[in-house]
Amino acid sequence: MAFSFSWPFRRRGSGSGGGGASKSAEEDEELGVTPQLLDFLRTLSPDAFKSVALQLQEGSAEATAGDLTSWQERHAVLVLSKAKELAKIRYDLCPRHMKDKQFWRIYFRLAKSYNSPYELRAIQKEKLRRMETENGKSTEVITVEVEMQESKGSRASQTSEVDSES
């Protein structure tokens, strides 16, 4: 006796539209979850996290840093879904060896070279949004203002470095 069963629910992303894959790729790119980052995460081990935790305990003020930013939280959720190796390391370490907050602080320190350009871009976008709502100006003008402020900041730091060397 054979049963004929029709599943009443569709899988996510299937059906008409087809825009789900490209939107997901855009979000991956915006949050810095790139193939290079995923390759790097495959090389990590629980011992890497434990050794950084020991370094942080040896008197660094960074050990008491604040909460994750909203970009970091979104990145963390996405990277856990994409990198099963990282999810396993987190499962092994939290909460037996370290708190979740410490795990993420260490993760962002280890993956800084992969994440920082994307996080910087997210910070710049947030600045633009904030400035736009405060001033009511067009985005084009604000973009130039943010770039000018950043270039002034980098010139000021270069000038202070030259002054301190003199």
- The per-residue pLDDT for range 27-54, each reduced to its tens digit, is 899 999 999 999 999 999 999 999 999 9
- The per-residue pLDDT for range 129-161, each reduced to its tens digit, is 999 888 875 555 556 666 666 665 555 544 444
Q: Alpha carbon 7 to chain centroid distance?
A: 37
Judge residue 83's burial from the number of C-beta atoms within 10 Å of its C-beta, 0-12 exposed, 13-18 middle, 19 or more buried: buried
Per-domain residue ranges of the chain: 25-114
String of DSSP letters for 32-98: T--HHHHHHHHT--HHHHHHHHHHHHTT-GGGG--PPPHHHHHHHHHHHHH-HHHHHHHHHHTTTTS
The pTM for the full model equals 0.67
